[in-house]
């Protein structure tokens, strides 16, 4: 298949390019380097040095003989994006090209405005480019479990059957996010749902939980192919942060009471989920939604797991409760359904002690590069 990966430079985008390329698909990656520039601006650069996209594609070609085409540009520029579609004729577009950080979206008005503009305009442009060039092209959008929030009922996969005054209908599951970033993801889901109903385009929305992990089968070939791995407060996800904190002797930053429960998955499973979705597309006129998680943990459970493995490996891991900078429930019911991707063929990699120990070993190699000032600054939701 011809696969267009938007947001190809990010933590998940580059591994996705390699994953499809390795399996014989033709890949074009696009990125505007937002994440790199923002990491420099906020002094929170990734743990491992990451060659730029053109360099990584070159390394990939030297090692595998497979070519990944790259284009550097901004998908909120419609003419740029349209030219990409006209040149490449993708059969599926994987949409990661969003500002992905909740704390970033809460820094100030300008960063909130950037998040809204980038995430909504980018998504709108993709819908238009698909309609104008090939309405059969399947959009696989990375959504987030955070769109649902933490409701006091089970979280279904995207849709909820409602009975009201004796009548029934099916609606998108109620959404109530707890950051401006997550709210922008609700809005881009709504944009795509509108165009699915109006133009009959085909969309899969992957409601993903926080991802952890440092490597995939493909990135293990050469350290220059590793994902852009952030461990800082802005761009790092919680488990990745805890491993880096443990290695650098920084007490693990459990926010508040630590009962916040989320659905997690290994980066290797993100690759599988996106691949399974792209190769088994939704129907024209269908918005298909999967909850992309493999198991649930509270923040305290994660911290305890990291401490157990870290202590065994000779780190003296402390767990610290810091006042929660976010506005979120710290104790709540959480029961998401996530059978759709398993039905498509997902084989989960669960969070075992061996998986944690492997993460420790990789981070230990780069411990001299850890910037302790980036770990916690307390970007407040208030």
C-beta of residue 235 within 8 angstroms of C-beta of residue 375: no
Helix (H, G, I), strand (E, B) or coil at 344: helix
Nearer to ligand USQ, 200 or 259 (CB): 259
Which of 123, 144, 204, 237 does the annotation list as catalytic?
Answer: 144
- How many Cβ atoms are within 10 Å of 346's Cβ, its own excluded? 21
Nearer to ligand USQ, 146 or 310 (CB): 146
User: What count of Cα atoms within 13 Å lies in the side-chain half-sphere of residue 161?
Assistant: 3
Nearer to ligand USQ, 299 or 317 (CB): 299
Helix (H, G, I), strand (E, B) or coil at 218: coil
Query: 37 CB contacts (<8 Å, ≥6 apart)?
Result: none
Q: Are strands 167-172 and 159-164 parallel, antiparallel or unpaired?
A: antiparallel
Nearer to ligand USQ, 101 or 266 (CB): 101
C-beta of residue 15 within 8 angstroms of C-beta of residue 104: no
Which of 11, 19, 148, 185 does the annotation list as catalytic?
Answer: 185
Which of 19, 96, 148, 181 does the annotation list as catalytic?
Answer: 181
C-beta of residue 175 within 8 angstroms of C-beta of residue 186: yes
Q: How far is the CB of 303 from ligand USQ (least distance, A)?
A: 8
What is the binding site for ligand USQ (CB under 6 A)?
A: 100-102, 144-146, 182, 208-210, 237-238, 241, 253-255, 260, 262, 299, 326, 328
Residue 365 falls in the annotated catalytic set: no
Nearer to ligand USQ, 25 or 241 (CB): 241
Q: How far is the CB of 142 from ligand USQ (least distance, A)?
A: 8
Q: Give the residue at shortest CB distance from ligand USQ.
A: 146
CA distance 184 to 13: 20
C-beta of residue 48 within 8 angstroms of C-beta of residue 223: yes
Nearer to ligand USQ, 322 or 357 (CB): 322
Q: How far is the CB of 102 from ligand USQ (least distance, A)?
A: 4
Residue 33 falls in the annotated catalytic set: no
Q: How far is the CB of 17 from ligand USQ (least distance, A)?
A: 19
Q: Could you please report the per-residue DSSP string of 258-315?
A: S--EEEEEEHHHHHHHHHHHHHSPPPTT-EEEEEE-SEEEEHHHHHHHHHHHHHHTT-
Q: How far is the CB of 220 from ligand USQ (least distance, A)?
A: 23
C-beta of residue 319 within 8 angstroms of C-beta of residue 303: yes
Residue 333 falls in the annotated catalytic set: no
CA distance 151 to 176: 8
Q: How far is the CB of 110 from ligand USQ (least distance, A)?
A: 20
Query: 288 CB contacts (<8 Å, ≥6 apart)?
Result: 158, 203, 204, 205, 277, 282
Q: Which tokens sit at 154?
A: 């089970």
Could you give the residue numbers annotated as active site?
144, 181, 185
């Amino acid at each position: 298949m011809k696969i267009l990966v938007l947001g190809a430079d990010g933590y998940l985008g580059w591994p996705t390019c390699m994953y499809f390329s390795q399996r014989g698909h033709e890949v074009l990656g696009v990125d505007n380097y937002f994440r790199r520039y923002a990491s420099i601006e906020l002094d929170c650069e990734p743990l491992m040095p990451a060659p730029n996209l053109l360099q990584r594609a070159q390394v990939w070609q030297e090692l595998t003989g497979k070519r990944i085409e790259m284009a550097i540009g901004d998908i909120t520029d419609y003419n740029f994006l349209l030219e990409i579609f006209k040149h490449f004729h993708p059969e599926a577009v994987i949409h990661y090209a969003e500002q992905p950080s909740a704390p970033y979206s809460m820094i100030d008005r300008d960063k909130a405005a950037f998040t809204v503009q980038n995430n909504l305009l980018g998504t709108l442009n993709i819908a238009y480019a698909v309609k104008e060039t090939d309405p059969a092209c399947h959009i696989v959008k990375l959504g987030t479990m955070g769109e649902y929030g933490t409701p006091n009922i089970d979280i279904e996969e995207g849709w909820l059957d409602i009975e009201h005054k004796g009548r029934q209908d099916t609606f998108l599951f109620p959404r109530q996010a707890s950051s401006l970033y997550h709210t922008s993801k609700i809005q881009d889901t709504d944009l795509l749902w509108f165009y699915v109903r109006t133009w009959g385009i085909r969309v899969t929305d992957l409601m993903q939980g926080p991802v952890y992990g440092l490597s995939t089968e493909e990135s293990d070939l050469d350290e220059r192919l590793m994902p852009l791995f952030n461990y800082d407060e802005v761009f790092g996800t919680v488990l990745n942060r805890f491993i880096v904190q443990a290695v650098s002797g920084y007490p693990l930053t459990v926010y508040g009471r630590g009962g916040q429960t989320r659905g997690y998955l290994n980066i290797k499973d993100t690759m599988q989920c996106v691949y399974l979705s792209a190769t088994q597309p939704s129907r024209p006129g269908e918005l298909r939604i999967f909850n992309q998680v493999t198991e649930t943990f509270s923040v305290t459970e994660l911290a305890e797991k990291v401490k157990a493995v870290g202590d065994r490996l000779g780190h003296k891991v402390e767990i610290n409760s810091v006042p929660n900078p976010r506005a979120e429930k710290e104790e709540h019911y959480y029961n998401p359904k996530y059978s759709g991707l398993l039905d498509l063929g997902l084989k989960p990699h669960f969070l075992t002690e061996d998986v944690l120990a492997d993460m420790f070993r990789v981070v230990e190699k780069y411990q001299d590069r850890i910037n302790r000032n980036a770990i916690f600054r307390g970007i407040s939701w208030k």
